[in-house]
Structure 1
Amino acid sequence: MVKTPDLPQDIISEIIEMALSDHVPFDTIRTLHGVSPDEVKAIMRSNLKTGSYRAWRKRVRDFGDRRAIYK
């Protein structure tokens, strides 16, 4: 299990906003904040409602299957 990184709330909010965007890949989040994709998922899981997290993961997974370059 991946631990959620200890980051200030404003940075966590920015990471969540970036992760929810369909136009920001995980690599950009890693470059800006040094957070791995697994850590982003842990942040999302701990800060979103269960249904919202599942919908986000499904959307990321579905887009990843359809596009060569996506999160």
Structure 2
Amino acid sequence: MTTRLPQTLSEADLSRLIEMAWEDRTPFDAIEATFGYSEPQVIALMRKQLKRNSFELWRKRVTGRATKHLALRSKLVTRAYCATQYKQK
């Protein structure tokens, strides 16, 4: 089965989507709200964009990770990213 990707992304948006997918605290729901890509579509995009080994490492990391899935996440977590993630330069 082929997962259709909803839109063509700019280089900057593609880079940000991949960055969000790698981030431990950014749930797939936030990616979908921002870019319109569901979890299966993000997986398909990552498979296409990453080298095979990088993709396999990423899948191993995110599979079942509570912070990547809102349904598994503690109700005490109210943000999608670490407070120190976006530091001012």
Aligned to 2:73: 69
Q: Please list every run of at least 4 consecutive aligned residues from structure 1 whose deviation after the TM superposition is greater than 3 angstroms.
A: none
More helix as a share of residues: 1
Aligned to 2:14: 12
Question: TM-score with structure 1 length normalisation?
Answer: 0.82
Q: Percent sequence identity over matched residues?
A: 38
Q: Which has the larger radius of gyration?
A: 2
Aligned to 2:33: 31
Question: TM-score with structure 2 length normalisation?
Answer: 0.67
Shift of 1:62: 4.5
Q: Over aligned residues, Cα RMSD in angstroms?
A: 2.0
Instruction: Output one character per residue of 1:36-55: Cα deviation in whole Å (capped at 9) or x when no partner.
Output: 11111111111111011011
> Which runs of 5 or more structure 1 residues have no equivalent in the other structure?
none
Contact 1:12 1:43 in 2 (8 A): no
> Which runs of 5 or more structure 2 residues have no equivalent in the other structure?
75-89
* Aligned length in residues: 68
Cα distance between partner residues in 2 of 1:35 and 1:4:
7
